[in-house]
Amino acid sequence: MLVHRVIARLNVGGPAMHVVNLTRGLDATGRFRTRLLAGRVTADEGDMGYYAREKGVSVTELPSLSRLVSPVGDLRILATLYSLFRRERPAVVHTHTAKAGTLGRLAAWWAGVPVRIHTYHGHVLGGGYFPSSVTRFFLEVERQLARISQRLVVLSERQRREMALDLKVAPWDRFAVIPLGLELEPFARTDREAARVATRGRLGIPEDRPVVGIVGRLVPIKNHGLLLRAVPMLESMHGGRVDLLIVGSGLLEKELRNLAASLDLADRCHWLGWRRDLPALYPAMDVLALTSVDEGTPVAVLEALAAGTPVAARAVGGVPEILADVPLAELIWEATPAAVAKALHGVLRRPHAPGDREMVRRGVCERFSVARLVADMAELYETELAMSKDRGRGHGPFV
């Protein structure tokens, strides 16, 4: 079965790892052959092309495809995808991320591809990210694209409820819940104590000082400013200095550095940029913070739990499902510095038994394994292809 997988770009984050793991895992079954198509990463983003190369996954680059809106470039990509789909006749076109989801599904529909699938890794449809008029426009576009999609994949039950019932993107039965699948074993295998001592030593952080980490792009939706504003309150509760490990880069870095300085936190912040040694960084953290406006399934949370690092995270997207009954975690229900500080303080003062850490490590590695992801997606593809043969290759109306 030929599958064309389309993503806007392989920038640092869960979607890039997801598509590479899917491509490699499905092709290894011998039942699928995948062409992975991706655009270029912009200058202010971290590039995860290395991850595909390390896994032996070939990427067909589409230079005009990126996260930036370009009428001429987007039309060129639409024509390119249409021609490719007509020439190679994939059984499935599976798109990931919004831009690729729009252009890829339109091209596949026009080309008569029998099975068209899109995965929502996250979204900006709930408001608070764009002006309301722009959000309404994007929501209507997604509703129309859903009409030409055989199946819409979400990462959690909560995300399905939101997309089907709250936002009414498509009927409930059009969604399939397939959680992320990641290679978490390197995090679980790391000697936590040795990595903690070594990393803190390199960064000049005393062993007894509390350390809060945050991992992700420095962009508005990740809401780093909320964490920075919470730190002075956390230090007041804790009664001493707290250091921050800020892993990632992005267009807001200068603004966030200025905010940290204005809050008198400059000497507490370790700006680490993009790193490939995350298995050694998580053990140096006493708690990972997640303050995002929205998430699908945040990879940093899964990696931290696999490393045995406690988490305090906002209850957005699929986060509550991930952290339900996890003894190392605390949910943040309000987007206020006080709520964030309280949750972080609760995690820092709570003792964590070694048995809890090991139980969480095993659970997250099993639940979010690549093997499980591949099996789930293979079943979905085969089911949808069988159904497409029954209904023929009709396009259906786009209205």
The string of DSSP codes covering 338-375 is: HHHHHHHHHHHHS---HHHHHHHHHHHHHHT-HHHHHH
Q: Which of 82, 83, 124, 121 is nearest to 105 (CA)?
A: 82
143-191: pLDDT as tens digits: 999 999 999 999 999 899 999 999 999 999 999 999 999 999 999 999 9
Whole-angstrom Cα distance, residue 299 to residue 95?
A: 19
Q: Looking at residue 294, what DSSP letter applies?
A: -
- 40 has a pLDDT exceeding 90: no
Q: Vertex 301, ends 357 and 305: CA angle to 5°?
A: 10
Tokens of 379: 């079943």
Task: Give me the pLDDT at residue 322, please.
Answer: 92
HSE-CB at 16 with a 13 A cutoff on CA atoms is 22
- Gap between the Cα atoms of 48 and 283, Å rounded: 23
Does the structure show a pLDDT above 50 at 273? yes
Q: What is the mean pLDDT of residues 97-110?
A: 95
- Percentage of the chain exceeding pLDDT 90: 78
**H-run or E-run covering 176:** strand 175-177
Token pair for residue 215?
Answer: 């991992």
Average pLDDT value for the chain: 92
Complete domains list, the chain, with CATH? 2-181+369-391 (3.40.50.2000), 185-367 (3.40.50.2000)
pTM metric for this prediction: 0.87
Asked if residue 62 has pLDDT above 60, the reply is yes
Give residue for tokens 């919470």: 230
How confident is residue 398, by pLDDT bands cut at 50, 70 and 90? very low
Spatial distance between the Cα atoms of 211 and 195, rounded to a whole number of angstroms: 14
pLDDT band at 313 (very low <50, low <70, confident <90, very high): very high
What counts of helices (H) and strands (E) characterise the chain? 16, 13
The pLDDT, as a whole number, for residue 126 is 66
